[in-house]
Structure formats: C-alpha cells, structure tokens
Amino acid sequence: SQQGEEDPQALSIQEGENATMNCSYKTSINNLQWYRQNSGRGLVHLILIRSNEREKHSGRLRVTLDTSKKSSSLLITASRAADTASYFCATDMDTGRRALTFGSGTRLQVQP
C-alpha cells in the first residue's frame, strides 16, 4: 500500500473557512513535502518540512509533523475559491530510496 495516506479523501468547505488535511506514513523519513494539483495539470510544490522540524508556515499554509505518530497535517487558513485543487503529501524516506513516495491525495473544494 501507499507510504502516505491522506485523510479525508475529499473535503468541501466555504470560502473563508480553514481546511485541514492529514497525512500518515509508515517508515522513517528525511522530510515530508506537500504538493498541490489543479485539475488536469501537474503538481506544484508547496512546502517542505524536515524530520527534525515540528511546524512550518508559508503564507496561509501551516504544516505540522509528528514523527512519533508518523503523521503530518496541512492547514490552509482563510480559504479561497482558488484553493480548490487536490493536495498530496510525499515522503522522502530514510531508506536511501532516491524518489519521493506520494499518497493518494485530498480533493479540496472551496465554495465561493
């Protein structure tokens, strides 16, 4: 099964509300990254958190990492209709594997 599993699979909120997406993984990591994908397009890198960090901010994005629980969350504050997209977590595993492993994604719909 996937290294990263996102929860929920789909999320629908109103503009202005906060959106929280969770990611769980199975093996030790060097870092965890979040990506965004607009419909029919490639993924865009949003933010990276290293294994020795607990929280990171970038604009309206806040990422937390709990390595003891092997989980991460992505919070988008004051969401906008333009935030509608799919969001993926990806892990850089501490196994020497040179490629990221992606989860199945959360589909976020922000209603105007």
Partner 1 sequence: DVKVTQSSRYLVKRTGEKVFLECVQDMDHENMFWYRQDPGLGLRLIYFSYDVKMKEKGDIPEGYSVSREKKERFSLILESASTNQTSMYLCASSSRQGTRPLHFGNGTRLTVT
- Are 100 and 32 in contact by the 8 Å Cβ rule? The answer is no
Closest approach, Cβ 5 to partner 1, in A, equals 9
From candidates 45, 54, 57, 80, binder to partner 1 by CB under 8 A? 45
The strand pairing partners of 55, in sequence order, are 64
From candidates 19, 21, 25, 33, binder to partner 1 by CB under 8 A? 33
Note whether 2 binds partner 1 by CB under 8 A.
yes
Note whether 92 binds partner 1 by CB under 8 A.
yes
Could you give the CA distance from residue 28 to residue 41 in angstroms, rounded to a whole number?
30
Residue 42 or 112 having the CB closest to partner 1: 42
From candidates 31, 73, 77, 109, binder to partner 1 by CB under 8 A? 31
Contacts with partner 1, residue ranges (CB under 8 A):
2, 4, 30-31, 33, 35, 40-45, 48, 50, 88, 90, 92, 98-105
